[in-house]
Amino acid sequence: MAPAFPNGHRIALHEQKPNVKEFGDDTLTKAYGSWALPEMVKQLAQGNRSLQTKVLIAFKEEMFTVHEGICEGIDAGVLSVLTCLLPSSDDAGFRVLIFEVIELLSKQTIGRQAISGAEDCLSVLKPHMVDAEPQVRLSLARALKSICQTTEGADACFNAGYLEALTVRFKPSTAESDPEILMEIMQALSTMLSKSLNASQQAAKTLNAEDFLGLTQSPFAKNEEFLCTALDMIQAVCMEDVAKEAMIANRAVHLICSMLHGSEPDPAATSLSVTTDISWKGKSKLWGVLAALLIRNHAKFQVVQDGWLRLLLCSLQENDSILVVRAAIQVVMHAADHPEARSTLKVLIPELQSIAANSEPSDPMVQKLCKKCIAQLEWIP
């Protein structure tokens, strides 16, 4: 019989390996079954930098690419170990690996809940919004976008001060220089505002409309995906009336109409066509933002006084997408609250009737909007 170990266990003689060489301190060894993740987390916490790097690479490329691995990692306490390794300011590559692993954790529900629920975790990550390493900033922005997908996560991010940390990246003096990262930041903020009432209300109170609108005029906005992302964020912050007023005060109506027209308006023109340089997706976002602003009376007056009714007369000629049509109808409907706009835009009633008659039976939204818009245009005080 094989000799017993101090713990009483025995290994059969045929399974014993003679002359086994000891592994170095930087050698990553993997266990299997229920020992796997706890052992790797232990190696991450206690190993030297070389071993820690190998563990992080294993997490990134293998262990945390599946849901089960993330669940076991969270249970093993990997999140607290990762945050304890920060800021790692002496090793940019190591820091990148940490944030790439955190990004993977945030993609699963249990990971998001752990990050948003852990004490001080979000606070530890926040200084890296301005990290010198672009990949760190990118991974953190993506992680925040995932965390904010739930109300609890969005509230946690807001309470940790991420509303200011995100919006400061739009200011010219502290702007994010990478367009891909900036898009992720805008998406993260849009998600936070749509899920957290506190964040939405605070953003509206402290809104710097000039910074937000400036994103639509950025050189990055030549990329239409960037422009659409910026417009989505503006739409999200404009859910609050005080934010709408701030945008209107910064001539957002004129800016959006100019973008839809493609240039500044010609004072002598009898009508203003809609540009063909922007795709249906960009136009639907622009019309959508304009419709949101036109809920406020100040915006209606600006459309009339600045001569943009000439643009609205051509708004229903867009038929590239039902999303464009819906948004354009809402613009006409809200503008028609103004007596002069109602009088001018009455000529669109036949077009509205035609749109309603030719709309898909499966899309009652268009028919409903057309009926409401026609009723608004026909209304007599």
**Quick check: 5 pLDDT over 80?**
no
Instruction: Look over the chain and give the mean of its residue pLDDT values, rounded to a whole number.
Output: 90
Query: Residue 112 has which token pair?
Result: 């998001």
Q: What Å distances lie between residue 112 and 4, 24, 100, 148, 265, CA to CA?
A: 46, 35, 14, 9, 48
Ranking 21-25, 191-195, 298-302 by mean pLDDT, the lowest is 21-25
Q: What Å distances lie between residue 194 and 53, 161, 210, CA to CA?
A: 37, 17, 21
pLDDT for position 8: 55
**Quick check: 27 pLDDT over 90?**
no
pTM (predicted TM-score): 0.86
Residue 18 covered by a domain:
no
Name 10's bridge partners: 4
Residue 376 covered by a domain:
no
Ranking 20-34, 200-214, 309-323 by mean pLDDT, the lowest is 20-34
pLDDT for position 9: 56
Q: What is the mean pLDDT of residues 19-40?
A: 60
**Quick check: 163 pLDDT over 70?**
yes
Distance CA 86, CA 150 (A): 26
- What's the CATH code of the domain at 130? 1.25.10.10
pLDDT for position 22: 59
Provide DSSP, 267-278. Answer: TT-S--PPPSSS
pLDDT for position 28: 54
pLDDT for position 7: 54
Provide DSSP, 310-328. Answer: HHHTTGGG--S-HHHHHHH
Residue 20 covered by a domain:
no
Provide DSSP, 116-143. Answer: HHSTTHHHHHGGGGG-SSHHHHHHHHHH
pLDDT tier, 361 (very low <50, low <70, confident <90, very high otherwise): confident
pLDDT, one tens digit per residue, over 185-205 is 999 999 999 999 999 999 999
pLDDT for position 379: 86
Query: Residue 104 has which token pair?
Result: 């993977």
Give the domain extent around 162.
Answer: 25-167
Residue 347 or residue 16, greater confidence: 347
pLDDT, one tens digit per residue, over 53-77 is 999 999 999 989 989 899 999 999 9
pLDDT for position 381: 73
Q: What is the mean pLDDT of residues 232-238?
A: 95
- In terms of DSSP H, where are the helices of 196-321? 197-206, 209-214, 224-237, 241-249, 252-261, 280-293, 297-305, 309-312
Residue 78 covered by a domain:
yes
Q: What percent of the chain has pLDDT over 70?
A: 91
pLDDT for position 318: 79
Q: Name the amino acid, one letter, at 212.
A: F
Q: What kind and span of H or E run contains 355?
A: helix 349-358
pLDDT tier, 34 (very low <50, low <70, confident <90, very high otherwise): very low
Residue 163 covered by a domain:
yes
pLDDT, one tens digit per residue, over 171-182 is 989 999 999 999
Domains in the chain, number? 1
Distance CA 108, CA 149 (A): 11
The burial of 122, by beta-carbon neighbours within 10 Å (0-12 exposed, 13-18 middle, 19 or more buried), is given as buried
Q: What is the mean pLDDT of residues 262-282?
A: 93
Residue 340 covered by a domain:
no
Distance CA 182, CA 177 (A): 8
Residue 197 covered by a domain:
no
